[in-house]
Amino acid sequence: MTFLGIPTASSTGHLRAPRTFPEAAHDALGNAQLRRNLGDATATIRAKRAGVVAELPDWEQLRAAGAAIKDETLAHLDEYLIQLEEQVTERGGVVHWARDADEANRTVVELVRAAGADEVVKVKSMATQEIALNEALADAGITALETDLAELIVQLGHDAPSHILVPAIHRNRSEIREIFLREMAGVDPALTDDPRALAEAARTYLRRKFLSAQVAISGANFAVAEAGTLCVFESEGNGRMCLTLPRTLITVMGIEKLVPTWRDLEVFLQTLPRSSTGERMNPYTSMWTGATEGQQFHLVLLDNGRTATLADPHGRSALRCIRCSACLNVCPVYERTGGHAYGSVYPGPIGAVLSPQLTGVEHNPTLPFASSLCGACFDACPVAIDIPSMLIHLRAQVVDAKREAHHTPTPEAAIMAAAAWTMNRPRWWARGLRAARLSRFVRRRRALPPPLSAWTASRDLPDPPRETLRDWWQREGGVQ
């Protein structure tokens, strides 16, 4: 039970890792096929992105504007959401609010039932994956059909997505062919593993579904508060099929995915496609306002841990994220482990930040450590989220949470506390440093005693320097 008004990270759904990151990463690193697929794919997309970003003379200005627009949105989020609701309602749409995944799922199930449907077509959406909507629909006897090619591969393979943008990045063409032959009703048994033939098989399979579907479910890349306009960026046309053909459209959107003004989209229409697929523009972007062309429209606004993230002044800029996945493609850790190791629908650097924020760090304590802090993610981010600094901030929260849970200091907390005490007392600090220097003459140790032995198990203990900085400073006549 949450008390009114107090943001809690009470999110439910596909955000929690069943295993720790080191355990899951260990298995992923043993899978040579996976590493090869990921290495090829991320290298390709990194090169494409770099090319189209370099084409724009004002990329850094667009990046700064994107960050500033999102910060403005977050600073007045309540006002912009009310404005969006008014605009959508005025144009014949119906707005629903959901505190968490369960509430959002219940709302969608009721809407699908009210439309008299037992099958829905879906546009790829992070929000509906986050809340595990497909599972909730299945429990209610409703079949959800993913229509994005990669999502279809994942769904037919009874698998989990491993990348925000290319969910089947861990599968190669021959694996995909096998999945289609095994799971796709009515598929040509002579199907080859040519990507063109595989795409054609998906087109044929889904076409009659599109033409007969009564209800579609989508996410949204952006919503414009002042106009009530929603948009979906996509490539294949499956999004347009879902957004325009069925009589009822239900869109589930995180409360942070809006921008204040129509003009603001001029920034993201340039930065999102270049950052995500490495294209100047994605093939199709659809925008609609309220009930359009005779369709019924429902918008579900989802909190699910976002207000708790907003409550942390040092962490709230993660809510700028526009889900482009540029940070995944440049991350040396992601490139080797793949998305599944993160155990959340949000993998990679942004996932290592966002997943613990949405669930509370106690439910994802190893993710903030799934990074080498190299900074490539920050450089690639089109809304300038300082992911490395936020990871360090979250690591501190994990240590604090552990201390609260144990009521006794963990070794790292005890050491940090002792260091803080000593560093505040210059004479003790100087003595400590000299003592460490003297230890050079003691028989050299390569490992520390337990519990510090965990650290030295994979590292050599460094030699203390011959002379401390302070001693050097004094010897050279520096001012104290």
Partner 1 sequence: MNEGAATSAREEILSRIRTALGDRPSPAPVARDYRVAGSVPADVEQFVDRLVDYRATVHRCGSDEPALRLKEILDARGVPRLVVPDGFPPAWLPAASLVTEPVSTETLDEVGAVLTTCALAVAETGTIVLDAGPGQGPRALTLVPDYHLCVVRADQVRAIVPDAVAELDPRAPLTWISGPSATSDIELRRVEGVHGPRTLDVLIVG
Site for partner 1 in 131-170 (CB under 8 A): 147-150, 153, 166, 168-169
Least distance (Å) between residue 262 CB and partner 1: 4
147: which residues sit within 8 A by CB, 6+ positions away? 121, 122, 123, 124, 206, 209, 210, 238, 241, 242
The stretch among 231-239, 371-379, 404-412, 466-474 that binds partner 1 (CB under 8 A) is: 231-239
Report whether 310 contacts 77 (CB < 8 A).
Answer: yes
Site mask for partner 1 (CB under 8 A), range 236-255, x = bound? xxx-xx-xxx---------x
Q: How many amino acids of this chain bind partner 1 (CB under 8 A)? A: 102
Least distance (Å) between residue 462 CB and partner 1: 41
Report whether 340 contacts 162 (CB < 8 A).
Answer: yes
Write out the binding residues for partner 1, residues 342-381 only, by CB under 8 A.
none
Least distance (Å) between residue 334 CB and partner 1: 15
In the structure, how many helices (H) and strands (E) does the chain have? 22, 10
Nearer to partner 1, 81 or 380 (CB): 81
Nearer to partner 1, 154 or 367 (CB): 154
Write out the binding residues for partner 1, residues 49-108 only, by CB under 8 A.
57-58, 61-62, 64-65, 68-69, 71-72, 74-75, 77-78, 81-82, 91, 96-99, 103, 107
Residue 421: count other Cβ atoms within 10 Å of its Cβ. Answer: 11
Site mask for partner 1 (CB under 8 A), range 255-274, x = bound? x------xxxxxx-xx--x-
Write out the binding residues for partner 1, residues 171-190 only, by CB under 8 A.
172-173, 176
> Would you count residue 280 as binding partner 1 (CB under 8 A)?
yes
> Would you count residue 448 as binding partner 1 (CB under 8 A)?
no
Least distance (Å) between residue 263 CB and partner 1: 6
Write out the binding residues for partner 1, residues 204-223 only, by CB under 8 A.
206-207, 210-211
Least distance (Å) between residue 78 CB and partner 1: 4
> Would you count residue 37 as binding partner 1 (CB under 8 A)?
yes
Token digits for 216? 């579609």
**DSSP letter, residue 215:** E
Q: Which of 281, 430, 448, 452 is the binder for partner 1 (CB under 8 A)? A: 281
Amino acid at 203: R
Q: Which of 41, 53, 137, 164 is the binder for partner 1 (CB under 8 A)? A: 41
Nearest-10 crossing angle of helices 77-90, 59-75: 90
Q: Comparing C-alpha atoms, which of 372, 301, 337 is closest to residue 82?
A: 301
Cα 274 from Cα 403, distance rounded (Å): 43
Cis peptide bond upstream of 462, omega within 30: no
Q: Comparing C-alpha atoms, which of 263, 253, 311, 279 is closest to residue 84?
A: 253
Report whether 104 contacts 133 (CB < 8 A).
Answer: yes
Residue 306: count other Cβ atoms within 10 Å of its Cβ. Answer: 25
> Would you count residue 426 as binding partner 1 (CB under 8 A)?
no
Nearer to partner 1, 237 or 432 (CB): 237
